Amino acid sequence: WHHTVEKLFGVEITPRCKVLRTIMAEVSRIQDHLLCVGAAALDLGAFTGFLYAFNVREKIYDLCDYIAGQRFHPDWTRVGGAMRELPDDETFRTMVSNIVNKEVPRAIQDLENLVLRNRIFIDRTVGIGVIDRDDAVAWSLSGPIARASGVVRDVRKDEPYLCYADNWDGQGRKPVEFKVPVHADGDVYARFQVRIEEMRQSIGIVNQLLTDEIWSWIKGMPLDAFADSKVVKPRKPDVYGSIEGLIQHFELIMDNRGWKAPIAEVYGANETGNGELGYYIVGDGGKLPWRARTRPPSFINYQVMAKLTEGHMLADVVAILGSLNVIAGELDR
C-alpha cells in the first residue's frame, strides 16, 4: 500500500530506506517459505521438519521485534519511510547476518534432508496437483505456484522497485543480483522446490546489502523522505509547545486544509512470498482515495484449487492445499 501511495504522489524514498525495506522484504520472504514448507511437512506427517523451520522463524520474529517493537505484525513501513529508525545499525546487521548466513542455511539443509528427500513425502507430492504453464497463465497465478509451472514472472524483475531497480541509489548503482527459480513439473513437489531455492536467492540478496561499503554510505542518511517536511504531523511536544507546531498539526488534520492527492490512478505491486500483492488507487484530488482495490495473491491463487484436486484422492487435498500456502484472511471477500 505504501509503495503504491508513493507512486501516486511521486515520492522518492531515500537509499537508506530502500536498503532496509529490501532486506526486510527478503527476510519476510524467507520466513513465509519456512512456514509453508514446515507446515506442509507437518500436515503430511513429518513433524520434525516443522520444528526445524519454526525454530528459525522465531529468530526472524526477534528481528521484527527489534526494529518495530512487534513480532508477528511489525507494521513498520510508512509512506515515504518507516515507523522509526533502527535502534543501532551494527546490531541490526549482526542479527540479519546471523539469520541469513547461519540459521537459514542450516534450516534449508535440514528441510531438504528431512522433507524433500523423504520417500513418503515424495510419494505424496510428486505428480499431485499438477497445473501446466498455459493454465497457470490463464488462471492469473503468481509467485512460487506460477513459477513451479514454468511461468517466468517475478515483479522484482519485471516491474523493479527498491534495490531491485537499476540506479536505485541515484548514482548509477546496479540492482541486486538474483535468479528467479523456475520448474516445469507444476506439481506439489515442484512448488516446494521453488520455495527452497527462493530462500537461497534471498540469502544472496541480503548479503549484497550488508556490505561495509553500503552501510558506511547510508550511515547517518535520513530514513524518512519527509524528515524535514511539513506534510507529516509534528511531534506532540511541538504541538503543545510552539505555535508553529500547532499550525502544522491544524493544517494537516482539518478537512479543508493540508495536502491533496493528485487526480490520477496508479497500480503498484510487490513480489511477496506467495506472489504478486498489488494495490490499485484512484485519486480524485481529495484526501481520501476515490477507489482502492487490493490484489491479494492467495485470493487469486486459491481459485485454482478445484482444478488441482480433480481426479485425486481426498487425502491429496491436504498436500495440494499446503503447497498453495493460502492466507485465509485474503479470502474473506
Give the single-character DSSP code of 163.
Answer: G
Report the candidate in 13, 63, 67, 5 with the shortest Cα–Cα distance to residue 223.
13
Give the helix/strand (H/E) hosting 89.
helix 89-98
Residues 6+ apart with CB under 8 A from 123: none
pLDDT at 226: 80
Name residue, grid cell 528441510. 111
In 3-state terms, what secondary structure has residue 13?
A: coil
* Pairwise CA distance, residues 146 & 87, whole Å: 39
* Pairwise CA distance, residues 41 & 38, whole Å: 5
- Residue 75, number of CB atoms within 10 A of its CB: 10
Cell numbers describing residue 268: 503498484
Give the bridge partners for 330, in sequence order: none
* Pairwise CA distance, residues 176 & 38, whole Å: 28
4-47 pLDDT tens trace: 999 999 999 999 999 999 999 999 999 999 999 999 999 998 88
Q: Which residues of the chain have pLDDT under 50?
A: none
Please, what is the end-to-end C-alpha distance for the chain in angstroms? 18
- pTM of the predicted protein model: 0.92
For 150, counting Cβ atoms within 10 Å of its Cβ (0-12 exposed, 13-18 middle, 19+ buried), the class is middle
Cell numbers describing residue 182: 523456475
Residues 6+ apart with CB under 8 A from 306: none
From the candidate CATH numbers 3.30.420.140, 3.20.20.100, 1.10.645.10, 1.10.3720.10, the one assigned to the domain spanning 14-223+316-326: 1.10.645.10
pLDDT at 293: 95
* Pairwise CA distance, residues 44 & 42, whole Å: 5
Residue pair 159/153 in contact by the 8 Å Cβ criterion: no
pLDDT at 228: 67
pLDDT at 66: 94
* Pairwise CA distance, residues 115 & 311, whole Å: 25
**What are the extents of the domains in the chain?**
14-223+316-326
Amino acid at position 107, single letter: A
Cell numbers describing residue 40: 506442509
* Pairwise CA distance, residues 283 & 55, whole Å: 44
